[in-house]
Structure 1
Amino acid sequence: MKTLILDGSLAGDRVGTYSAATLQSAAVARGWAAEVVVLRDKKIGNCMGDFFCWLKSPGKCHVADEHQEISRKYLESDLVIFLSPITFGGYSSTLKKIVDHQIQNTLPFFTTIDGEIHHQKRYDNYPDILIIGWLEEPDAEAESVFRNLAWRNSINFYAKSHVCGILYGTQSERVTKEQLDRLFEKVVRRESDRDATLPTITCSLAPATPVQRALLLVGSPRLEKSSSSSLGSYLFEQLQQQGVETETIYLYKAINTAARMDALRDAIDRVDLIVLAFPLYVDTLPAPVISVFEHVVTHCRKKLKTTRFTAIVNCGFPEASQNANAIAVCAEFARSAGFEWMGGLPLGAGEGMVHAQPLQQLGGQGRSLRQALERAAGELADGQPVSDKSRELLAKPVIPVWMYKLGGTIGWTMKARKNGTQKLLKARPYQKVTPG
């Protein structure tokens, strides 16, 4: 039996170091092989959302860094343990970076699990997972968001057994060890946690005042040529028509230099509304966006005026509801940053519908998208949270699920043919080799 422990903690994090060592000892005591990978010490690039791991080198990211060896070990393991400080109700950017690469372990084609669309398996077997997060002290809302993310990941990771646990920095080592031992034994017994629902997150009750300046943050690696940019830009065109001054920053450019991060902080100080537009990555935010959030909370100056925050998130599944965890993480970030949460706008089948085109070019198919964003722009310009009506309009399915699944099969097959990989689409580069 093999256990792989992925430590997503920061340097000097006592809980992370202690948890990794304790769990490794528990596995070894059972006669299992156990390895700890300290992710902060590894060279792992960000998932760039190019789908090359499906189309050009199926099952394997084309970037040859240390994530490839970790991915091989992941699929050779019987149990994988994820360790992370709970960060806005989700994972640290350090852990999320390797989680984002898990998309290569599925196929581009769709299947239905419990009435919901997911990607098909690439491999016959996947490891069980134990996901452990920690906070300095109890926080019921953040804990619920974290447990929901762990449960959502267990579905997409095809884990037969999945367990989630939460530790606190205020605990003694004795209490922490006892809890870690219980969690380890639970997953060894092949038990699983129950489905974890999200908490009810309320929008800001701050008095509504008209917005003067707004900042669009685009959290897609495709920058201007992304569906996230198309959605955010249309919303901001409507804000401009209502007299709001606007500015746009592409986060994947900002993370590259200290000067651009300084410029981001300055921009945040200037505005009273921030809108984040991004694609869903493995049930929540992409790692670089989380990294920016971490930086903002750690380094931004205390604001002297009210700053409102909202998010537009689109996913490649037809159900807008699959964006729920990402929106909850955005709300948790707003709480941590001292921003007023104005609600989120979820879109299903985003890439399939928008294709990074200006929304004006989508014709009748994009009517409900435009109406939703126009309505939301009016609400936000007045300093009001996004209404249920705006959310429902954006989330309204335009394509029947059966048609979306069929279109996905045809579309991915045609793209593979163009790349000369049609016969390799179901390749298993990290297939576990059975001795003998």
Structure 2
Amino acid sequence: MAEYSTPTTEHEFQRNFAQLKPHMNRTEALYESARCLFCFDAPCIKACPSGIDIPQFIRQINSGNETGAARTIYQANYFGNACGKVCPTEVLCEGACVYNLQDVKPIEIGRLQSYATMKVIESGKKLFGPGEPNGKRVAVIGAGPAGISAACELRALGYAVDVFEAKAQPSGLTVYGVAPYKITNEETLAEMAYLQAQFGYHVQFNYPITSREELAALEEKYDAIFLGIGLGKTNELGLPGEDKINCTGAVEFIAELRQYHHQVAVGRRVIVLGGGNTAMDAASESARLGAEHVVLAYRRGKEEMGAYEFEYDLAKAVGVKGLFNVAPVEIMGNGYVSGVKFVRTETKDGKVSEVAGSEFIEPCDMVIKATGQAKQTDFLRLVPGLKTDSKGRIIANAHTGQTTNPQYFASGDAWNGGAEVVNAAAEAKQTARGIHAYLTK
């Protein structure tokens, strides 16, 4: 029996995918901000990759200065509203809150952050603007968290900025790859519109850069080029039957769900392959779409999963079952998926080995592969002199973001291999300053 009924209307979809961190009203925000101890050497600041002065913005909320709070947040993180909702605050700022040492509920920092930033987004108040024009131009490839953050910082430094985005909407995985119960499309796009109105960068949508000729034209026209291209499609596993109907990648599944909501069909029995946070999202989303039986299958033990514990708890809470120490051998079926053949595994000295003669078939009518994303190496080969490491990640200076081709700079998943939205936003802000240092030598 499914935990959720299959949504057939937008209202039913929103009910099944209710926000995990709903918006606070003013009374809630004042009450929660009053709980903060305003620590002098605040561990929550150290735990935030973007270094937001958290006690400062909470104090500003408590004094009724939501605009000042939003300014404090955005000065450190241009994705302030989104990060308040999609960040794993449980293991970052809130996980570092001193209240945890007293077995007291930590301050709801993420919700307070979204409260302040949403207030200023809705008001349209002008907090920032472009710097004095310096006559130099920067091209940004990719309108995800890294690209948009770099664009904002570069505009603040006086650069003319053009952003080139292959898709129809900005913010990258924030609108295409985050579970709908973490943030809505409307919230994400409202923040993007607010930032563009503040800083005045130009975005060309549905504009993929795919050839050496196009890159050469950018190199001629712009003083520097920022790569915020993220990662590619879900990795192929190379399994027999992987091309069967209803065998899909988690990234593609979540992107479709974010765009089409209740119009997305899900199987009755779903197997999700993987043990990371994306696997948890795909499994939870399948259950919320009305799947009767959802199984997370991982080749190692439960304690070895890459996912945060709270993400696994979210999946279990909606009826997802775990199947551990199993490796997929073949996707079964005649045209359509009918099951997955697994072999049991064991881990010795950190290495996974298969148990001979332990094969079995788990029936299903849909397989979702949450097995990581491919690096965009084909595109990166188009950039002369740009080097990548053995894992396909862009090699760049850790402090400036400059690649081995000095005109190119990089941040975000294409450089770090895949991290949180807040990491991409923080890295890109620093890299924008690296571009500034390079162009003002």
The structure in which a higher percent of residues are helix is 1
Say yes or no: TM over 0.5.
Answer: no
Q: TM-score, normalised by structure 1?
A: 0.32
